Amino acid sequence: MNTTSQGARTCLVSVVVTVMATASLGHAMLFLDNTSTASSYNATAPGGALIGSGWDLTGNLNSFIGVPIDGRYFVTAKHCGWNDATQYSVTFASGPNQGTFNASKTQHWDDPNSDLRVWKLDATSASFVSWAPLYTNTNEAGKDLVMFGRGYTRGAAVTVGTELKGWQWSSSGAGTKRWGTNAVTGYADYQTVGDNHLLYANFDQSVGGTEAMLANLDSGAGLFIQDGTTWKLAGVGYGVDPATYALTSSHTGSFNAAAFDYGGLYYYDGQAWQYMQDSSSNIPAASYASRVSTSSSWIMGIIPEPSALLLLLLGYGGWGTRRR
């Protein structure tokens, strides 16, 4: 499956309250469940069948998110305005990686074909104890996923007449790590037609109350798919489309929202306002993530293979082996 976005995808870097002429990049998640307004909703590690699905591998990277993919490397979104003069660090509040890990100021790589950045830890930093295996299969469409964010919660309801369409983004509870679920709807293009370097997941009420959509500052969020019995990193949070809406043709009072049906609303496509004709069927917005599978060769070209000696030693009960 492939789609081109209805408009310019809004990336998840900062709150976009007013209309912007260029794409703005994303922090947090909004849920379908009616009780999910509280920032404490899904704010502890998932249990049951979702144990080990990525909670402990979601680190705070300044205002964004970093996911370890090797003992010395982590991945995030490249669009976040990083600069080499700043000392960035990935922090984990709990789990096997509990603590703070400083990133190198100079050793980082941006994928020319996607929004991925691979970052090496500073030479003075301790190594990660646990990291995410990569999902390298190109069969993501239709598969369930678990996503992790740490920002905005559900705000005021968005309605057309008396019909509920979604919820505005709210800064209440920002910074709280939470998890949600969805399913991969298909693939989308990052910069050239047919490149399929993005995954997208519609906010379409397909997986129940924990179904979630990315929101402001969820850049770098990990999206995990189960491969056999192992949860693997399949996507890295990039943006949403659409994100900015208005109720009237004058576009006054425009707002950002997670919409499971934006029929009957005006939306900004990155260049101009458009109107989406209402329909008897819902017209959902979608979350977008950089696709790990199509960039896996590029990633593995950066991360060194474990030495034969290391593999031999880890064969005697070591915990840090590369999982692919």
**For 52-79, how does the pLDDT look when each residue is reduced to its tens digit (9 = 90+)?**
999 999 999 998 999 999 999 999 999 9
> Residue 312, SS3?
helix
Task: Please state the pTM of the whole predicted model.
Answer: 0.87
| Selected residue with higher pLDDT from 81 and 308 | 81
Question: pLDDT-derived band of residue 22, with 50, 70 and 90 as boundaries?
Answer: very low
- What DSSP line would sit under 181-239, residue for residue? EEE--EEE-SSSTT---EEEEE-SS-S-TTBEEE-TT-TT-EEEEEETTEEEEEEEEEE
CB proximity list for 129: less than 8 A, separation 6 or greater: 71, 96, 97, 319, 320
Cβ-count burial of 191 within 10 angstroms (0-12 exposed, 13-18 middle, 19+ buried)? exposed
CB proximity list for 162: less than 8 A, separation 6 or greater: none
The structure tokens 């425009």 sit at: 254
Arithmetic mean of pLDDT, 147-171 = 90
Dihedral angle computed from the Cα positions of residues 290, 291, 292 and 297, in that order, rounded to the nearest 10 degrees: -110
Provide the token pair at 110. Answer: 């941006």
The secondary element (H helix, E strand) that includes residue 309 is helix 308-314
What is the spatial distance between Cα 184 and Cα 287, in angstroms, rounded to a whole number? 10
Provide the token pair at 241. Answer: 């489309």
Please, what are the domains in the chain? Answer: 2-46+136-293 (no CATH), 50-134+297-314 (2.40.10.10)
Other CB atoms closer than 10 Å to residue 107's CB: what's the count?
15
The secondary element (H helix, E strand) that includes residue 75 is strand 73-77
